[in-house]
Amino acid sequence: MKRKISLSLLLIVVFTVSLVAHLPARLAVNYLPASMGVRLAGVDGTVWQGTAKQVSWQNKPMGRLSWEVHLLQLFLGKADVSVELRGGVNGLDGKGHVGVSFGGPYATDFILSAPAEMVLRNVPAPIPVTATGSVNLVVKRYEFASPWCKELDGRLNWVNGAVSSPVGDISAGDAMANLSCNAGSLSVRGDSKSASLTSNFSLELAPDQSYKVDGWFIPGSEFPNQLRQQLSWLGQPDSNGRYPLKFNG
């Protein structure tokens, strides 16, 4: 009798796993919470491995998405998924691992690339500006903890960066920033060097959502004259010609 019961339970488990493994992804996406703001169209495959011809977030098209769930990670208490995003109308591309463990949401070996103009459209600016170049985010390891992070090891690059405005154009060249997490605070530290300017900066976002910016920049030979005439509001440069950048809130 015990053998029959064990065999029956085994068959039920196998049937359940097989059912979930072959569940069409197009049915599963119907259960995505509307509050996430994520919509998938043209879904094919299963919940374990599939594609979506178009994924949008907050009504913004992001591109084609493919995913694969790593089953062995489930036995380690992780829901680990390889994702790849390609061909967005905004030029957004990305790939890497995202998932959830007992410690919370995480990402590893994640790469995201977007045109600088796309990024700039989501940043408020006091005057009309346009940007060129590519912004690349590389995350070796990220673990979420409210409101910012528990662990972060990443890098942000702006390649061939330039900004155009009614008062002049500035070439930032290749700017780089390191991303880290310290006691729940998000830390960004970077620099840039070009014929227009040389800069060094740091940004700290604390768990209470206060921020602190500390840095400096030196105008170069190609720094726009119209902007150079407005530098007095920043105060006097130091003995090395550096104008301070200090803000907090």
pLDDT single digits (tens) 193-244: 999 999 999 999 999 999 999 999 999 999 999 888 888 888 889 999 999 9
Provide the token pair at 50: 């599939």
Residue 56 phi, psi dihedral angles, 5° rounding: -130, 150
For residues 244 and 38, which has the higher predicted lDDT (pLDDT)? 244
Provide the token pair at 179: 């991303």
**Residue 13 banded pLDDT, cuts 50, 70, 90:** very low
Asked if 63 contacts 51 with a C-beta cutoff of 8 angstroms, the reply is no
pTM for the whole thing?
A: 0.82
DSSP-H helix ranges across 79-224? 116-120
Asked whether residue 33 carries a pLDDT value surpassing 70, the answer given is no
pLDDT tens for each residue of 79-92: 899 999 987 667 78
Q: Containing H/E element for 171?
A: strand 168-182
Q: How many whole angstroms separate alpha carbon 101 and alpha carbon 78?
A: 4
DSSP-H helix ranges across 83-231? 116-120, 225-228
Of 31-45, 46-60, 139-153, 172-186, where does mean pLDDT reach its minimum? 31-45
Average pLDDT value for residue range 58-81: 85
For residues 144 and 5, which has the higher predicted lDDT (pLDDT)? 144
**Residue 76 banded pLDDT, cuts 50, 70, 90:** confident
Sequence-distant (6+) residues with CB within 8 A of 34 are none
Provide the token pair at 67: 């995913």
* 3 state SS of 96: strand
pLDDT tens for each residue of 112-125: 999 988 888 877 77
**Residue 135 banded pLDDT, cuts 50, 70, 90:** very high
Of 17-21, 45-49, 141-145, 159-163, where does mean pLDDT reach its minimum? 17-21
Asked whether residue 19 carries a pLDDT value surpassing 60, the answer given is no
> Would you call 145 exposed, middle or buried from its count of C-beta atoms within 10 A (0-12, 13-18, 19+)?
middle
The whole domain housing 147 covers: 2-248
pLDDT at 166: 86
Peptide bond into 147 cis (omega under 30): yes
How many structural domains are present in the chain? 1
Q: What percent of the chain has pLDDT over 90?
A: 43
pLDDT at 129: 85
Could you list the beta-strand ranges (E) of 46-129.
49-57, 60-69, 79-86, 93-101, 104-115
